[in-house]
Homo-oligomer: A and B are copies of this chain.
Amino acid sequence: MDLLVDHHCHGVVRRELDRAEFEARLSEADRPAPGTTLFDSALGDALRRHCFPVLDLLATADPDDYLARRAELGHEEVTGRLLRAAGLAAVLVDTGFLPEPLTTPAELAAAAGATAHEVVRLESVAEELEVGTATGFAGAVHEALAAAAARPDTVAFKSVAAYRVGLALGDERPSEAEVREAAGRWLADGAGRLADEVLHRFLAFAALDTGLPLQFHTGLGDRDTDLRLGDPLLLAPWLRAAESTEVPVLLLHCYPYHRNAAYLAQVFPAVHMDLGLATHNVGARAPGVLAEALELCPYGKFLYSSDGYALPELHFLGAVLFRAAADADLIPRTTENAHRVYPTVGGRGPGR
């Protein structure tokens, strides 16, 4: 089996989950509608077909049986089985979204038999700074990003501007005065959740200065996102402005705007894409969605990711559905692409 580099995922939960907790983490919905279950969906079908057997159940078993079997085996055994079955060479873990304790990159990688790497979320870096004055903000960010980039595990930064202000970032680096003013507003407001176009734009340009690849959340997200503002085409002016740096840019998920992302990947040398979150959400339709993305996306610009979060089922389903959807050639190609984009990522050895 060709191993995959999962170039964007999250840790998994460190405890047992009841059915409501499990369903709440299954898709972008945070709960099923009354009288329905999220198991009855393309994702649920994929879960039955691919995950139930990994826990020794038939695909026809009841979801409650699956939850019972999960509890019986224990979350560590479940995580180990599913992550090993995913066939991963390396995991690049976004450590910036932790509404509850999740496994660290090292723990996730150990469970998967893969190498561990970290993707540092720009907004988390900024939000965790201890800066007292607007004047000090820009310098503190540059320093913190340089420090993060210098850590051997760090392989990329990630922007969640799509969630906070949308992808229509301006095409010029904000001036020192603009950053100071925006930071002032943010500090005056309690220095909580960043949601200011100037600051997200500043962070994205500041990330380029480190030379590390920059991932952008685009498209599909949870119910708080305004999906229209996640159309990657909105990022085109910023991409043109960023182009001279030659820093690789990675558009994540992209669905339902994956054809738009593929156009950008065709015409901008630095732009790459994946289907991330969409792969496991659409279940057996993954081949159709992948085919649409590859209408325009050059094969050298497509990467694999699961965007698995909280449930190891999602890391596994991403991999198994991608393997079923992709031509045999594309699987090792995405791994080569990941190694070209992230040269310090390990796991090159076996598998081919």
Q: Which residues of A contact B (CB under 8 A)?
A: 27-38, 40-42, 44, 220, 222-223, 226-228, 231, 233-234, 236, 246, 255-256, 259-260, 263, 266-270, 281-283, 285, 288-289, 291-292, 294-301, 333, 340
Report A222 CB to chain B, min CB distance, Å: 7
Quote the shortest CB–CB distance from A295 to chain B (angstroms): 4
Chain B hits for A32, CB < 8 A: 269, 298, 300
Do residues A295 and B227 form an inter-chain contact, with CB atoms below 8 A?
no
| Cβ-defined contact, A295 with B269, below 8 A | no
Closest partner residue, chain B, to A281 (CB atom): B296
18 contacts between A and B (CB under 8 A): A29-B269, A31-B269, A32-B300, A35-B340, A40-B299, A41-B298, A42-B295, A222-B267, A227-B263, A228-B231, A228-B234, A256-B260, A283-B295, A285-B292, A285-B294, A285-B295, A288-B292, A289-B295
Q: Are B42 and A296 in contact (CB under 8 A)?
A: yes
Minimum Cβ distance to chain B for residue A52 (Å):
18
Task: Say yes or no: A256 contacts B263, CB within 8 Å.
Answer: yes
Q: Nearest 8 A-B pairs (CB), nearest first?
A: A36-B300, A223-B267, A282-B295, A33-B269, A256-B259, A41-B298, A40-B299, A285-B295
Residues of B within 8 A of A297 (CB): 41
User: CA separation between A256 and B260, bound complex, in Å?
Assistant: 7
Structural contact, B228 and A233, CB atoms closer than 8 A:
yes
CB neighbours (8 Å) of A231 from chain B are 228
Contacts of A259 in B (CB 8 A): 255-256
A222: B residues at CB distance < 8 A: 267
Bound: A28/B295 CA distance, A: 13
Establish whether residues A36 and B233, one from each chain, have CB atoms under 8 Å apart when the complex forms. no
Give CA–CA (A142, B37) in the complex, Å: 35
A298–B36 touching, CB < 8 Å:
yes
User: CB-CB < 8 A to A36: which residues of B?
Assistant: 298-301
On chain B, the residues within 8 Å of A234 by CB distance are 228
Q: How far is the CA of A32 from the CA of B301 in the complex (A)?
A: 10
Instruction: Indicate if the CB atoms of B233 and A227 lie closer than 8 Å.
Output: yes
